[in-house]
Amino acid sequence: MSGGQVVGLTPFFLAPMHDMEEKVIGGLVKPDRREFLRASLLGSGALLVDFDKLNGFARPQNERHDPLGDGKQLGILEFTGESRAPLDTIIGAGLDARLFSDLSRLSPEQLVTPTEKFYTRTCASESLDGGKPWTIKVGGLVQEPLNLTSEDLEKGAKPMGMHLMECSGNTRATRFGLLSVADWIGVPISDLLATQIKPRMDRVMVSGFDEYPMKSATSIPGADWVFTVEQLKASKAFLATEMNGQPLSKDHGAPVRLIMPGWYGCTSIKWVNAITFVNENFLATSQMQEFAARTHQQGVPKLARDYRPAIIDQAAMPIRVEKWFADGRIKYRVVGILWGGSRLVKALEIRFNPEEDYVRVAHFSQTTNDPWSFWSHVWTPKATGAYLIRLRVTEPPVETKRLNSGHYVRSVEVTEI
């Protein structure tokens, strides 16, 4: 493992995806949901975090009438049953490095994640020499091989806008913190194909530097993904050179990384050093095989052509639950985000336990699928206890594999009503 053991946290990195709600309500066994949740707590019940630091955060968009009126915010409920790994700080090194972004402090007023808090799922290798000129070798089945330099890319770089990135391994074990947004500058792949690259085949492998001095405990060596030219064009893929107004940092892929808007982060190759055009029978790369399950493939296909696009489905989850005193009683406001997919959502619904009905999220409006949209819903629990918060998209009918499985279900313990 590069940089030594990730003390105490490797199990969270290696933990499989668990559907908390399906464990509660699925199958033939139905244990008491409150007993199950209490047994899984990694904290001490309903914790309140330092909500004073949230002062000045805007309320979710389109909240024309605030049902909390002039009420007073008392705190924030901490989500239960999730990892206690630290947020906004690097853990480990090299291939085993992680940084989980703190989503609880997001607001509609600040859509972009500061670079130092943008999630990380691999840090730069100690073997990476950033001092020498960087070259991307373009070869394989092309009319004429060529080398792209950093200077070539800088000449063609342009603002590419804000784009969300989510790691395909973004789970409860990571506190759902492998999800961030940045404002990018780069060179569209379509521009390169139109002016410099003349391929003879329509499949292309994008590769990145991937040499580490120590063996990883969490990843398989290899940083390559195979796309069709049409996939690159349709997603408006680009080679990024800047992030949030500054040159890419080393840990975020400097001097150049691929960005695949709308695709899982495992396809956005860092430290790009080769673009190779390949034939129809090209084998799937080790990275494609490693992330096959997490990108919802059918098994682990041997050929690259048999991989489905690793597109992020429409997804939604709460990012914080605020505790308020308003109108003479305790109330709660659930604030969350929606992202992914390619069609605008008109109706988002929420429920607070499996035996309850879904209700429409009160304050929600989406104008773009990328980066993310905010929503909020004021909630008055009927009793104290553990609650599972789950979302679903009802209009339009779209594919929502992770929402359907309960992947983004989060839980809280309510101790006062």
CATH code, 99: 3.90.420.10
Domain that holds residue 52: 10-81+313-414
Q: Give, in order, the Cα–Cα distances in Å from 349 to each of 114, 138, 330, 376.
A: 30, 47, 23, 11
Distance CA 185, CA 295 (A): 26
Task: Please state the pTM of the whole predicted model.
Answer: 0.85
Residue 191 pLDDT = 94
Residue 146 pLDDT = 94
Residue 152 pLDDT = 93
Q: Which of 273, 289, 306 is at the close of a domain?
A: 306
Q: Give, in order, the Cα–Cα distances in Å from 53 to each of 49, 56, 75, 297, 308.
A: 9, 8, 10, 42, 43
Domain-embedded: residue 350: yes
Q: How many CA atoms lie within 13 A of 338 on its CB side?
A: 31
Q: Give, in order, the Cα–Cα distances in Å from 404 to each of 19, 21, 64, 196, 407.
A: 10, 11, 30, 44, 8
Q: How many CA atoms lie within 13 A of 320 on its CB side?
A: 22
Q: How many domains does the chain have?
A: 2
Domain-embedded: residue 88: no
Same domain, 62 and 154: no
Render each residue's pLDDT in the chain as its tens digit; 417 residues.
Answer: 333 333 333 333 333 333 444 443 333 233 343 333 333 333 323 334 444 444 333 344 444 567 898 899 999 999 999 999 999 999 999 999 999 999 999 999 989 999 999 999 999 999 998 778 999 999 999 999 999 998 999 999 999 999 999 999 999 999 999 999 999 999 999 999 988 898 999 999 999 999 998 888 888 888 999 999 999 999 999 999 999 999 999 999 999 999 999 999 999 999 999 999 999 999 999 999 999 999 999 999 999 999 999 999 999 999 999 999 999 999 999 999 999 999 999 999 999 999 999 999 999 999 999 999 999 999 999 999 999 999 999 999 999 999 999 999 999 999 999
Same domain, 32 and 129: no
Residue 64 pLDDT = 54
Same domain, 299 and 379: no
Distance CA 285, CA 225 (A): 7
Same domain, 290 and 322: no
Same domain, 102 and 169: yes
Q: Which of 306, 338, 366 is at the close of a domain?
A: 306
Domain-embedded: residue 17: yes
Q: Give, in order, the Cα–Cα distances in Å from 134 to each of 131, 205, 209, 269, 307.
A: 9, 18, 11, 15, 30
Residue 41 pLDDT = 32
Domain-embedded: residue 87: no
Same domain, 157 and 218: yes
Domain-embedded: residue 2: no
Domain-embedded: residue 63: yes
Burial of residue 64, with CB atoms counted within 10 A of its CB: 0-12 exposed, 13-18 middle, 19 or more buried: exposed
Do 90 and 98 meet the contact criterion of CB atoms below 8 Å apart?
Answer: yes
Residue 112 pLDDT = 97
Same domain, 142 and 250: yes
Domain-embedded: residue 89: no
Domain-embedded: residue 389: yes
Do 332 and 378 meet the contact criterion of CB atoms below 8 Å apart?
Answer: yes
Q: Give, in order, the Cα–Cα distances in Å from 196 to each of 227, 233, 234, 238.
A: 18, 15, 19, 15
